[in-house]
Homo-oligomer: A and B are copies of this chain.
Amino acid sequence: MSCVLGIDIGGTNTEFGLVDREGKIHFSSKVKTRQHATPESLAQSIYDTLQSDVDDIQITAIGIGTPNGNYYKGTIEFAPNLEWKGVIELAKIFQGQFELPVKVANDANAAAHGEMLFGAARGLRDFLVVTLGTGLGSGFVCNGEVLYGNTGMAGELGHVVIHPAGRECKCGRKGCLERYASSTGFMITTKELLELTDSASPLKDIPSSELHASDVDKAARNGDVLALEVFNRTARELARGLATAVAITSPEVIILCGGLAKSGELLLEPTRRCLEEELLQVFKKTVAIRASGLRDGNVAILGAAALGWK
C-alpha cells in the first residue's frame, strides 16, 4: 500500500502518521519535539520508529507542517516556539534521511490543504482555516489554491493588529489578533475579567496558576456569567480579525480548529453573531463559520499528509 508520511512539528509534540489517498491513517505516533536538539535528530528518530514498527507500507512522499514553515524554500524561519533557531533547512534534512520528496508548509497552511483534501472544505474554492491554539494560525485558499504569497509565508492573520495600543505580542508589536483570539488570549481575558468583576464565579475558587481554558469551558456550560462573557469577548475580537480577512479575501467558509475551537458552539455561536455585526454590508450573510471536518487529533497529521499528496 502507498502512503504519505505526514509530520506535524509543534512546540511541544511532533506527531506523525502514514496516510493513504482517502485520508485513512494507517499508523501514527508522536515524540517530544524538545528532546531533539537538532532537526536531524528528529528526522532520525521518526525514521527509526517507522523502520521498527511499520511493515508493507510504501511511503511515497513526506509533508511537514511546522510553525514558520516556508513552502517555497522548505525551511523553518525564525520560529519563536521552537528550540531550533534561525533558518532550518528542514526539507533537505528529511530528504537526506528518507530519500523521498518533501514538502514543508506553515502548520495552518497545511491544515488548509487537509480540510480541502479530506475535511470540511472539499469542493470549496475560497475558504479560510483558522487554528486557535497557543497562537492563532491561518491558511487561506483563494481560487482553489493555498495562498503562500511571494515569500511562501502568507496567512499570518494572527499578527493582524486589531488594537493599535493593545496587548503586547511576542512579535514585538501591540494588539495582534492572537493576543485576544487564541487559547493564550482567552486565558488573558479570563484573568482580566476575574480581576475586574465583583460578581461570584466558580472560577474564582481556582488558583490563577491552575486555571485552564477547560475550566472556563466547564463553567460556561454550567451557565457562569463571567465564563460566558469570556467567550463573548473572545468571539468579538476574533470576529474583528475575521472581518478583516473577509474584506480582503471574501471566503465562502471559515473553518475553526485547534484547542480553543473544541468549545464548539460556545465559541462558534457568538463568533457568527459578532462577525455579522462587524462585516461590511456587501459581505453580510455570505460567510459560514464551521468547525473542522477532520477528527480531533488528526487535523495536524492529515494536513501535513495532504501537503505530501499534493
A residues whose Cβ falls under 8 Å from a Cβ of B: 68, 77-78, 125-126, 138, 140, 142-143, 145, 147-157, 159-164, 171-173, 240, 243-245, 247-252, 278, 280-283, 286-287
Contact = CB atoms under 8 A, between A and B. Distances in A.
B248 A155 contact: yes
A111 B29 CA distance: 50
A173 B151 CA distance: 33
A98 B65 CA distance: 52
Contact of A247 (B68, B159, B286): B159
A152 B286 CA distance: 11
A156 B248 contact: yes
A281 B153 contact: no
Rank and list the top 3 A-B pairs by shortest CB-CB distance, nearest first.
A149-B250, A154-B250, A150-B252
A129 to B, nearest CB: 13
Given A78-B282, A140-B248, A282-B77, A240 B161 contact: yes
B160 A163 contact: no
22 contacts: A77-B282, A125-B150, A126-B150, A142-B147, A142-B149, A143-B147, A148-B250, A150-B286, A150-B287, A151-B282, A151-B283, A152-B250, A153-B250, A154-B248, A154-B249, A156-B280, A160-B247, A160-B248, A164-B240, A171-B280, A171-B281, A249-B249
Contacts of A245: 248
A172 B281 contact: yes
A249 B151 CA distance: 9
A114 to B, nearest CB: 19
A283 B126 CA distance: 24
Contacts of A154: 142, 248-250
Contacts of A172: 281
A238 to B, nearest CB: 14
Contact of A164 (B78, B125, B140, B163): B163
Contact of A149 (B78, B126, B162, B243): B126
B243 A161 contact: yes
A169 B36 CA distance: 52
Contacts of A156: 247-248, 280, 282-283
Contact of A68 (B77, B248, B282): B282
A280 B173 contact: yes
B125 A251 contact: no
Nearest to A68: B282
Contact of A283 (B153, B162, B164): B153
